[in-house]
Amino acid sequence: MGQDAFENFGFPKRTNYSISHWLQSVQGDPLLDHRTTPELPASADIVIIGSGMSGTIIAKNIVETWPEKKVVVIEARLFCSGATGRNAGHCKPDQWRGFIGYEKQFGTQQALKILQNEQQTWSEVVQYIKENSVECEHWSGDTLDVPVTPQAAENAKKIFERYKAAGGNVDHIKVTNDPKKAAEISQIKTAQACYAWPASTLHPWKLAAHVMRDNIKKGVNLQTKTQATSVVHSGEDQHKWVVKTERGDIKCSEVVHATNAYSSALEPSLRGLITPCPHICNKVIPPKADAGFEGFKGSYGVLLPQDALITINPRFNGGGGVLFGGSNPGQDEFMEWLEKNPHRYIDDGLTGFDSVTKAIQEFAVEGFEGWPSDALKQGETYKEAWSGILGLSEDGLPFVGQLPALPGQWICAGHHGHGMARIFTVASGLVKLMNGSSWTDTRLPEVFQITAARTERLKERVKISPVRARI
């Protein structure tokens, strides 16, 4: 993405960036500011814009499909320093919770396919990590979704039963509707029920870095600190594109947009379809064992009323600490602040927000047995936080495929804060499409495909606000 493009939307120049838990742990790694060649190549077969998980996995699939092609990946800042390098570290397939929402919008079969795809994605991520001995602090075990109010429990049960009745596979999901047993399993005092199934946590930057290093060995040219400012037709050959950057131009046959939330900065047809929105993640230091806290049993999704959610990622194979993310009750105040400060919608320099942090503090004290209340007064416990920019798609699903009316330009973006549970499969599917395969061959849900009909339908229902008109 290009800074000029954002300034044209009324946003100021971005100068400050928060350092996430992940990025902080890899400071000094030479891949962060890697440039495979000192000069930007003047030409390539394929240019991928964005070096996060999408761009990295797309590059992997391209070099495996066409080892002879010249592939350049450009990144505006440091390698994998956007959403992937700022997330909460989950690779958690939704196995039931989103079903009714998907069913209402896309129908029963597509809703089933969406959740099946997430299970497939998780399986492929774990398989890749194990087969390639990737050192990314990977942990697999039960993830627990825990409704903590009667209303949230009733809603969860309704969705689960509907998913099961529609033919969804629930054999691998352990369900406890007895509040007492749910509290024992989850260690959450206010638990009303508990749903458990296999998922993972990991160090997302280290996973992406492992893949990118292998890509570079296979000939991919990575150029960091290289901002794309526009993509235009070549004046010499209308079948080719020119990716303009602050370091020069690259002429190519195909372009892949893999910048997620920032996609519309380069491609105006995506305006209103993918909206950038910051979320806050907090690293919390849990109480010592002698405080009476028994520790976490797995990763968590704490289900609250009005679809509020707190995610919890204990760093079982990491350097300690617990990551709290999601959209907790403090998010409402954060969103109100954003409406008054629209230029902050693309600000990943935020180092916390009081209402979000306070909601985490209150939940930890009230929710977990043995979590001391005086921890609320201990600034060190909750001091580390950062922002990451979600690419919220208008219908909650990613856009995958060739951009309508722009042959040779492709997209894999709009992951809606759920990229780790989708990117491995959608990236592979995109490259199959680039190779001439049909959508059926991708095995992806049909509703993921970007088509003229889908984009036109979504634009019809988007009611542009003064904020969204600029993003």
Residue-wise pLDDT for 8-31, tens only, equals: 333 334 445 689 999 999 999 999
For position 297, what pLDDT does the model report?
85
Is the pLDDT confidence value at 215 over 60? yes
For position 378, what pLDDT does the model report?
54
Looking at every residue in the chain, the average pLDDT score rounds to: 92
Is the pLDDT confidence value at 60 over 80? yes
Domains of the chain listed by start with CATH number: 4-86+205-274+394-464 (3.50.50.60), 140-199+276-391 (3.30.9.10)
For position 289, what pLDDT does the model report?
63
For position 468, what pLDDT does the model report?
45
**Are residues 86 and 23 in contact, defined by beta-carbon separation less than 8 angstroms?**
yes
**Mean pLDDT score, 143-159:** 98
**Mean pLDDT score, 3-8:** 41
**Residue 167: which residues within 8 A CB-CB, separation 6 or more?**
112
pLDDT band at 291 (very low <50, low <70, confident <90, very high): low
For position 5, what pLDDT does the model report?
41
Residue-wise pLDDT for 331-354, tens only, equals: 999 999 999 999 999 999 999 999
The CB density around residue 383, as the number of other CB atoms within 10 Å, is 14
**Mean pLDDT score, 419-437:** 98
pLDDT band at 233 (very low <50, low <70, confident <90, very high): very high
pLDDT band at 292 (very low <50, low <70, confident <90, very high): low
Lowest mean pLDDT among 109-118, 294-303, 417-426: 294-303
**By percentage, how much of the chain surpasses pLDDT 90?**
83
Nearest alpha carbon to residue 363 among 241, 228, 209, 190: 190
Is the pLDDT confidence value at 437 over 80? yes
The CB density around residue 174, as the number of other CB atoms within 10 Å, is 12
pLDDT band at 379 (very low <50, low <70, confident <90, very high): low
Task: Say which residue the tokens 């064992």 belong to.
Answer: 289
Please give the backbone phi and psi of residue 162, each rounded to the nearest 5 degrees, phi first.
-65, -40
CA of 121: how far to CAs of 95, 101, 102, in Å?
A: 12, 20, 18
**By percentage, how much of the chain surpasses pLDDT 70?**
92
Is the pLDDT confidence value at 71 over 80? yes
Q: With the CA atoms of 421, 424, 428 and 429 taken in that order, what torsion angle do they form, in degrees rounded to the nearest 10? A: 0
pLDDT band at 290 (very low <50, low <70, confident <90, very high): low
Among left, alpha and beta (phi > 0; psi -120 to 50; other), residue 423 is alpha
Please give the backbone phi and psi of residue 58, each rounded to the nearest 5 degrees, phi first.
-60, -45
Residue-wise pLDDT for 256-281, tens only, equals: 999 999 999 999 999 999 999 999 99
**Mean pLDDT score, 137-165:** 98
R_g of the chain, CA atoms, integer Å: 22
**Are residues 146 and 191 in contact, defined by beta-carbon separation less than 8 angstroms?**
yes
Helix (H, G, I), strand (E, B) or coil at 297: coil
The secondary element (H helix, E strand) that includes residue 338 is helix 331-340
**Mean pLDDT score, 295-311:** 92
CA 82, distance to chain mean position in Å, is: 10
Q: How many helices (H) and strands (E) does the chain have?
A: 15, 18
